[in-house]
Amino acid sequence: MKKIDTTSIVVDPFNTDFCQRWTWTMLGKTLLNAAENHAKARGFGMMDLNGRHYTWVLSRLTIEMQSMPTAYHNVNVSTWIENIYRLFTNRNFAIKDEDGTVYGYARSIWAMIDYETRQPMQLEQIEGEQFQAYLLPEEPCPIAAQGRVRALTDADYVKSHHAKYSDIDMNSHVNSIKYIEHIMDLFSIDDYKEGRNLHRLEISYMAESRYGDLLSFFKRKVSDNKYEVEVRKDFIPGGDRGTPIVRASLEFS
Amino acid sequence: MKKIDTTSIVVDPFNTDFCQRWTWTMLGKTLLNAAENHAKARGFGMMDLNGRHYTWVLSRLTIEMQSMPTAYHNVNVSTWIENIYRLFTNRNFAIKDEDGTVYGYARSIWAMIDYETRQPMQLEQIEGEQFQAYLLPEEPCPIAAQGRVRALTDADYVKSHHAKYSDIDMNSHVNSIKYIEHIMDLFSIDDYKEGRNLHRLEISYMAESRYGDLLSFFKRKVSDNKYEVEVRKDFIPGGDRGTPIVRASLEFS
């Protein structure tokens, strides 16, 4: 079996924003679905693992878009495994139009955890796995690796909400991409006006959250086009500082 | 050209809820996209109309699901125009699996409005339109037409939020399906637990809302399985009663 899979998708008009750009929510979910379908076809999708009491957990995601496809355009999303390490694996993505013109790239880092203990598995030692057969380190993914987002202070607090039904995905946790939607909603619609785009998003998933958890959002402006965001669980203004669960940086163009 | 179009879609795992059921958000957006693609193929999609300063506005939507497809299942969504009236047109949907087994049906009512004046157009008198050529009143859509949802009282107030970037779609209004997502989030995750499903949703869109508008949600329990919801713009508790913009009823099974 080949090492890279390409999924074709049309940007449906109701999956676009007020400038008819594909939403980052749909882009993000398309990446996760492409990853899952690639893994599933090779015997190590979520469902295959669930039967063996493991599951994949997304640890980091970096998406850098040169431009965002608009309504009715075709998008080809390719995904492949760059490498595998003791506790992590890197999976990359290329997002192109039907002629091969690049919209953007993405990098992701995943761990496999034991469903009960939530402890990471040693990926190189899992019996019967075929990961090694599918590594494709030579495939180019010409965007910088993820940087480090600093902890934010209580002074950067913006707002809180309890995780809702629509936040929760098949793993019974707040969906990785829903965090991105909430983070993007910390910005005004003027930050997305015609000609201004979210260019690069880096996000680190540090801990899981579940239905009903109190999620608090912190935001700091680094420069005119760059922001850092932190999401904490169980933050109480003036009280408990809470647990950081997500850190992100956003760069607009 | 035939009168009915069928779109095939696979239920991607990251578009499912905690029970691996396809989300109503994805179902709803798939219906709207199927409607738009059907209209576009026949020369009266949103973009075609925009060039002529008209646009479609969804007035009512009723969705009744016997069961909800789960991850990796194929779904065929068919759509056709049932009839056309002076100011409205009825468009229906059938949602089936690849063998033709029914998941559910939907009914929708649309108006065409002048983009500037927001006044409805007389659909039977629009020059050069081919609507009449595509009517298919004989195609069965065996679910009841939409009932009337009563106005709710201030005592039924649940919560408010300002319309966010992710609420807004290509028409620069709060997306019709995002209201459904927010309405479903008025219920606890226990209301969606295994074996309990949202069976029927009726929703009336009475007025538009835009970015930044204050949306307030009201909810009344009618019986163990039936609820009514109202969304108002610019409601101030104890003050302005606001303008009703959406009314819905939900029936769980």
- Model ipTM? 0.94
A176-180, A236-240, B81-85, B229-233: which has the minimum mean pLDDT?
A236-240
Cβ–Cβ below 8 Å for A29 and B14? yes
- In this structure, what token pair is assigned to residue A222? 């680094």
High-pLDDT (> 90) share of chain A, %: 82
Cβ contact A189–B211 (<8 Å):
yes
Residue A126 pLDDT more than 80?
no
Q: Is the pLDDT of residue A125 over 90?
A: no
Residue B108's contacts (CB-CB under 8 Å, 6 or more residues apart) are: B31, B35, B58, B60, B61, B62, B90, B91, B92, B93
Tell me how many degrees the CA angle B204-B207-B209 measures, rounded to the nearest 5.
Answer: 115
Identity of the residue in A15, A166, A212 whose CB atom sits nearest the CB atom of B29:
A15
CB B225 within 8 A of CB B251: yes
Interatomic CA distance for residues B177 and B28, integer angstroms: 6
Report CB contact under 8 Å: B25, A166: yes
Helix, strand, coil percentages, rounded to 5, for chain B: 20, 40, 40
Confidence (pTM) = 0.95
The distance of A124 to chain B (nearest Cα, Å) reads 26
- pLDDT, residue A50, reads 67
Contacts of B166 in chain A (CB under 8 A): 23, 25, 181, 184-185
B166 touches chain A (CB under 8 A): yes
pLDDT at B33 > cutoff 80? yes
Pick the residue from chain A with its C-alpha nearest to B11.
A33
Contact criterion met (CB < 8 Å) for A164 and B185: yes
Quick check: B117 pLDDT over 90? Answer: no
**Among the partner residues B15, B33, B169, nearest to A18 by beta-carbon distance:** B169
> Is residue A192 predicted with pLDDT exceeding 90?
yes
Contacts for B247 with CB less than 8 Å, ≥ 6 apart: B149, B150, B151, B152, B203, B204, B206, B228, B229, B230, B231
Query: What is residue A131's predicted lDDT score, i.e. its pLDDT?
Result: 83
**A14 vs B20, B36, B184: nearest CB:** B36
Count of C-beta atoms within a 10 Å radius of residue A212: 12
Contact B15 A36 (CB under 8 A): no
Ranges A90-104, A125-139, B34-48, B71-85: which has the least confidence: A125-139
pLDDT at A39: 93
pLDDT at A175 over 70: yes
Q: Note the pLDDT of residue B204.
A: 97
pLDDT of res. B116: 85
Kindly report the nearest CA distance between residue B20 and chain A, in angstroms. 5
Q: What is the pLDDT of residue B198?
A: 97
Q: What is the pLDDT of residue B127?
A: 67
Rounded to 10 deg, the angle between the B24-41 and B176-184 helix axes is 170
Give the pLDDT band of residue B240 (cuts 50, 70, 90): very high
Residues in chain A within 8 Å Cβ distance of B188? 165
Given a cut of 70, whether residue A127 has pLDDT beyond it is no
Please list, in sequence order, all residues whose beta carbon lies within 8 angstroms of the beta carbon of residue B30, skipping any fewer than 6 positions away: B7, B9, B75, B77
- The answer, for B133 touching chain A at a CB cutoff of 8 Å, is no
Q: Is B48 on the interface with A (CB under 8 A)?
A: no
- Mean pLDDT value across residues A29-41: 95
CA nearest to A9, candidates B87, B30, B40? B30
Chain B residues within 8 A of A211 when measuring between CB atoms: 18, 189
- For chain B positions 61-90, those within 8 Å of chain A (CB to CB) are 71
Q: How far is A139 from chain B (nearest CA, A)?
A: 26
Do the Cβ atoms of A33 and B15 come within 8 Å? yes
Q: Do A184 and B177 touch (CB under 8 A)?
A: no
Q: Cα distance from B227 to chain A (closest Cα, Å)?
A: 17
Average of per-residue pLDDT across A211-232 = 97
The confidence score (pLDDT) of residue A242 equals 95
User: Does the beta carbon of B108 lie under 8 angstroms from any beta carbon of chain A?
Assistant: no
The mean per-residue pLDDT over the stretch B221-242 comes to: 95
A139: tokens are 């495939």
Percent of chain A with pLDDT over 70: 98
Q: How many CA atoms lie within 13 A of B92 on its CB side?
A: 22
Q: b/e string for B131-161 if b means 16 or more Cβ within 10 A?
A: beebbeeeeebebeebeebeebeeeebeebe
Chain B partners of A7 at a C-beta cutoff of 8 Å?
A: none
Model confidence at B2, pLDDT cuts 50, 70, 90, reads very high
Distance from CA of A207 to the nearest CA of B (A): 18
The residue-averaged pLDDT of A11-18 equals: 94
CA-to-CA separations, B111 to A169, B94, B134, B206, in angstroms, rounded:
35, 21, 17, 12
Q: What is the pLDDT of residue A52?
A: 74
What average pLDDT does range A122-127 have in this prediction?
A: 79
Burial of residue A2, with CB atoms counted within 10 A of its CB: 0-12 exposed, 13-18 middle, 19 or more buried: exposed
Q: Which of B71, B164, B187 sits opposite A170 (nearest CB)?
A: B71
Give chain A's mean pLDDT: 94
Least CB–CB distance from B18: residue in A13, A169, A184: A169
Average pLDDT, chain B: 94
Q: Of all helices (H) and strands (E), which one includes residue B158?
A: strand B157-162
Instruction: Report CB contact under 8 Å: B36, A23.
Output: no
Closest CA–CA distance from residue A9 to any residue of chain B (Å): 10
pLDDT at A49: 75
pLDDT at A132: 84
* pLDDT tens for each residue of B137-177: 999 999 999 988 889 999 899 999 999 999 999 989 999 99
Looking at the predicted structure, is the pLDDT value of residue A129 above 90? no
Quick one: pLDDT at residue A128?
67
* Cα–Cα distances in angstroms (integers) from residue A153 to residues A121, A205, A228, in the given order: 33, 18, 11
**Between B237 and A205, where is the model more confident?**
A205
Report CB contact under 8 Å: A13, B166.
no
